[in-house]
C-alpha cells in the first residue's frame, strides 16, 4: 500500500555545501534528503509518536542528474511509498527553483525503531496513519 502525502522542503545552497568542483557535493544531497524526511516526519507525527519512534535508514539509492551551485534555491520533495510490517520506502526529488530542473532522484528504505529500547517497531496503528 502507498500514500501520496508529500512534503516540500526549500533550501538555499550555501558555501559549506560546495565541493572542489564548485557544485553541491554528492554527500550533501543525501543530507538534504535526510533533513527533508525529518521535516516531513515532524510535520505529520503526533508528539507521542515523536517521543517514542526514531527512524533509521537501511538503504539509499540516489541518481545525480544535474548539478546545483552556490546560491541556488532548491525544492526537495518527499513522499512515502510502499511499506511492509517493518520498512517504509521514501522517495525524493530535488528541483532547482529557478528553472524547475530535476537535479536528483532518490529513494530510501527507513526502519522505525522504539526510541527507548532501539528495537524494531511494527508499522501499524498511529504510525501507519500519520502518513495516510
Query: How high is the mean pLDDT of the chain?
Result: 94
CA pair distance 32, 10, nearest whole angstrom: 10
CA pair distance 34, 108, nearest whole angstrom: 9
Please give the DSSP secondary-structure letter assigned to residue 132: -
C-beta of residue 60 within 8 angstroms of C-beta of residue 37: no
pLDDT tens digit string along 22-31?
999 999 999 9
Helices (H), 45-109: 47-52
Topology at the third CATH level for domain 6-129: Thiol Ester Dehydrase; Chain A (3.10.129)
Q: What percent of the chain lies above the pLDDT cut of 90?
A: 95
Count of all residues that appear for the chain in the document: 132
- Tell me the CA distances in angstroms from 46 to 13, 58, 129, one per residue in order: 30, 24, 10
- Residue 44 φ/ψ, nearest 5 degrees: -105, -35
CA pair distance 41, 35, nearest whole angstrom: 10
Which three cell numbers mark 2?
502507498
pLDDT at position 4: 55
Query: With the C-alpha atoms ordered 24, 63, 85, 127, is the resulting torsion angle positive or negative?
Result: positive
pLDDT tens digit string along 71-128?
999 999 999 999 999 999 999 999 999 999 999 999 999 999 999 999 999 999 999 9
Say what the pTM is.
0.91
Domain range annotation of the chain: 6-129
Amino acid at each position: 500500500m502507498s500514500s501520496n502525502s508529500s512534503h516540500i522542503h526549500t533550501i538555499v545552497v550555501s558555501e559549506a555545501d560546495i565541493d572542489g568542483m564548485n557544485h553541491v557535493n554528492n554527500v550533501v544531497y543525501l543530507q538534504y534528503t535526510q533533513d527533508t524526511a525529518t521535516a516531513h516526519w515532524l510535520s505529520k507525527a503526533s508528539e507521542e509518536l515523536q517521543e517514542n519512534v526514531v527512524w533509521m535508514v537501511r538503504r539509499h539509492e540516489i541518481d545525480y542528474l544535474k548539478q546545483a551551485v552556490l546560491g541556488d534555491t532548491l525544492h526537495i520533495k518527499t513522499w512515502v511509498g510502499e511499506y511492509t510490517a517493518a520498512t517504509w520506502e521514501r522517495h525524493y526529488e530535488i528541483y532547482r527553483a529557478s528553472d524547475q530542473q530535476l537535479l536528483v532522484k532518490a529513494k530510501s528504505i527507513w526502519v522505525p525503531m522504539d526510541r527507548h529500547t532501539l528495537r524494531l517497531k511494527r508499522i501499524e496503528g498511529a504510525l501507519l496513519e500519520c502518513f495516510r
